[in-house]
């Protein structure tokens, strides 16, 4: 099945910590099927199911909802409606161990957030919970809450209606969206707004849904949003969702990259970068609008593309605000703190939980730093932008590590496969053998990578960029040589 669209319609009861309503799934069946299977936590009780308007049988076991009928379901457009409800799982440690948060703001008003990047959207609506199948035509969220509260959802607000003591908010996105971003936040929010003009001249609403108690900080968040957007657009191209909005909602958890409605919970802890205020959390989650929401890996096994390149975007903010030296220093710091326990890419059997080991962030970002050095800025930056803007890698299309390798190899004009293999598929460092062969002669060669690579070597004549390979080169210097002093590679220098 190919998922086309979700409509999630729920009434949220903060007192009972309960949700109740229905989900409609539009999909295309590529062949006739005797059964349709969706992911849905067993904490949600499926009450009734319809396929193309006709009631169907359902069996709900082990977080799978299996829908059957006497006659097979036909090929083509299919509409499945599922009525359900229950008490969703409460987040143990949001955003890392997700679920619902039924919190209160300082004035005692309900403040509700959802996080489910690892757990999947099946914790509150039935869906096909795999990153390779996003709803290409978007999603509608119709959420009913007690009057006085505001719902923030994905895309644009279509309508708010009030009935007795309840308010219903209809949010709609027409863009393809990851399941774990089809969600809502509830609070006694105020909305700070302005208009942002993108790098390509499009005008986009910029909004921050802020708790009343923090309204005085909202303008500062909008300023920092603009600052981050200018940096990210410079390197990765125009903001991806110009027909909708740039937005964040204040949440009780630290943050998450929810498309067009990122979660912000960094409590206004700004830091100074190059003398300017900066909010790393806001910048990182916002960077995911490009890396995760627009450019999506097709499987959890390639999660470094989303987290590693997004983290590299954080380093590029340092470069923009504090300069190249500060950027290089932060990359050296990243290299020092890597765990290197598992390869960044471990194959497709990795699941959503185990995908998030630490190195996909730091080592993924550092790998981009290495690529930048090897390719040089004139090739590297336009190629990175191509990855973030070319239709074959973005929106409806999902990518793997091999797509990234082929793109960069093509731009470089030579295969970078050995470099990708060493740094992403193994925990080995690049081994550089240095052997003094005479009073002022050094033989230098690469031991475990079979391709010529540029490398910085400091000799008595200063720093030189030399092309090195497994055969090696002879370096002349009256003083002991230094290999890659600025740390563009994760390496081990072996002195013989
Ligand atoms: Zn991230």
Question: How far is the centre of ligand 1, averaged over its atoms, from the C-alpha of 310 (Å)?
Answer: 7
Residue-wise pLDDT for 197-232, tens only, equals 999 999 999 999 999 999 999 999 999 999 999 999
Q: Quick check: 271 and 103 in contact, CB under 8 A?
A: no
255 CA to centre of ligand 1 in angstroms? 9
Is residue 84 a contact partner of residue 23, using CB atoms and an 8 Å limit? yes
- Closest to 251 measured CA to CA, from 285, 293, 287, 295: 285
> If you average pLDDT over residues 258-284, what whole number do you get?
97
Q: What is the pLDDT of residues 408-423, one digit of tens each?
A: 999 999 999 999 999 9
Rounded to whole angstroms, how far apart are CA atoms 344 and 127?
A: 28
Dihedral sign for Cα atoms in the order 191, 119, 109, 173: positive
What would the pLDDT profile of 27-43 be if each residue is shown by its tens digit?
Answer: 999 999 999 999 999 99
Preceding peptide of 95 cis, ω within 30°: yes
Tokens 């605000």 belong to which residue? 321
State pLDDT tens for residues 296-333: 998 889 999 999 999 999 999 999 999 999 999 999 99
Q: Give 288 Cα–ligand 1 centroid separation in angstroms.
A: 7
97 CA to middle of ligand 1, Å? 14
Pairing of strands 166-173, 156-163: antiparallel
pLDDT, tens digit (0-9, with 9 covering 90-100), for 165-194:
999 999 999 999 999 999 999 999 999 999
495: CA distance to ligand 1 center in Å?
A: 38
pLDDT at 337 over 90: yes
Of 207, 214, 205, 190, residue with least CA distance to 265: 214
Measure 380 CA to ligand 1 centroid, in angstroms.
22
Output the pLDDT for position 357: 76
pLDDT at 169: 98
Q: Which pLDDT band holds residue 402 (cuts at 50, 70, 90)?
A: very high
Q: How are beta strands 262-264 and 296-297 bridged, if at all?
A: unpaired
Amino acid 470: pLDDT: 86
How many of the other CB atoms lie within 10 Å of CB of 418? Answer: 15
Q: Which has more pLDDT, 298 or 92?
A: 92
How far is the centre of ligand 1, averaged over its atoms, from the C-alpha of 89 (Å)? 23
> How far is ligand 1, taken at its centre, from the CA of residue 285, in Å?
6
* Percent of the chain scoring above 90 in pLDDT: 94
Q: Between β-strands 99-104 and 110-115, what pairing exists: parallel, antiparallel or unpaired?
A: antiparallel
Distance separating alpha carbons of residues 386 and 383, to the nearest angstrom: 5
Compute the mean pLDDT over every residue in the chain, rounded to the nearest whole number. Answer: 96
pLDDT tens sequence across 94-129: 999 999 999 999 999 999 999 998 899 999 999 999
227-252 average pLDDT score: 98
Q: Is the pTM of this model over 0.85?
A: yes
Kindly state the DSSP code that residue 244 receives in the 8-state scheme.
Answer: S
Residue 358 above 80 pLDDT? no
């Amino acid at each position: 099945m190919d998922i086309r669209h979700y409509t999630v319609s729920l009434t949220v009861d903060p007192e009972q910590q309960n949700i109740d309503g229905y989900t409609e799934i539009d999909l295309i069946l590529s062949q006739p099927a005797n059964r349709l299977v969706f992911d849905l936590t067993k904490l949600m009780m499926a009450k009734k199911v319809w396929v193309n308007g006709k009631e169907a049988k359902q069996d709900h076991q082990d977080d799978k909802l299996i829908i059957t009928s006497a006659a097979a379901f036909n090929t083509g457009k299919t509409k499945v409606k599922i009525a359900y409800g229950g008490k969703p799982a409460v987040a143990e440690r949001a955003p890392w161990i997700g679920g619902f948060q039924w919190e209160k703001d300082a004035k005692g008003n309900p403040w509700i957030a959802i996080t489910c990047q690892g757990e999947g959207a099946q914790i509150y609506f039935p869906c096909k919970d795999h990153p390779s199948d996003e709803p290409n035509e978007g999603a509608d969220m119709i959420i009913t809450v007690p009057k006085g509260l505001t719902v923030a959802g994905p895309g644009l607000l279509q309508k708010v209606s009030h009935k007795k003591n309840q308010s219903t908010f209809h949010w709609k996105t027409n863009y393809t969206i990851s399941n774990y971003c089809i969600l809502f936040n509830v609070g006694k929010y105020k909305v700070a707004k302005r208009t942002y003009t993108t790098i390509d001249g499009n005008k986009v609403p910029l909004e921050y849904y802020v708790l009343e108690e923090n309204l005085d900080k909202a303008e500062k968040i909008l300023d920092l949003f603009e600052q981050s957007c200018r940096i990210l657009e410079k390197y990765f191209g125009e903001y991806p969702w110009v027909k909708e909005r740039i937005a964040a909602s204040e949440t009780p958890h630290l943050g998450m990259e929810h498309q067009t409605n990122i979660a912000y919970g960094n409590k206004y802890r700004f830091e100074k970068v190059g003398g300017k205020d900066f909010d790393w959390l806001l910048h990182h989650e916002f960077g995911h609008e490009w890396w995760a929401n627009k450019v999506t890996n097709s499987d959890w096994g390639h999660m470094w593309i989303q987290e590693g390149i997004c983290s590299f975007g954080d380093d590029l903010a340092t470069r923009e605000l504090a300069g190249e030296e500060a950027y290089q220093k932060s990359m050296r710091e990243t290299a020092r703190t890597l765990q290197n326990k598992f390869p960044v890419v471990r194959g497709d059997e990795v699941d959503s939980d185990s995908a998030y080991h630490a190195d996909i962030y730091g080592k993924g970002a550092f790998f981009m730093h290495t690529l930048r050095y090897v390719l040089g800025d004139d090739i590297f930056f336009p190629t990175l932008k191509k990855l973030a803007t070319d239709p074959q890698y973005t929106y409806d299309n999902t990518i793997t590590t091999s797509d990234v390798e082929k793109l960069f190899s093509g731009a470089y004009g030579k295969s970078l496969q050995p470099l990708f293999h060493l740094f992403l598929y193994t925990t080995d460092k690049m081994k550089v053998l240095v052997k003094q062969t005479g009073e002022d002669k050094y033989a230098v060669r690469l031991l475990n990578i079979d391709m010529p690579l540029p490398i910085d070597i400091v000799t008595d004549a200063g720093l030189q960029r030399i092309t090195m390979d497994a055969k090696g080169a002879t370096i002349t210097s009256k003083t002991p040589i230094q290999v890659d002093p600025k740390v563009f590679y994760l390496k081990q220098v072996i002195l013989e």
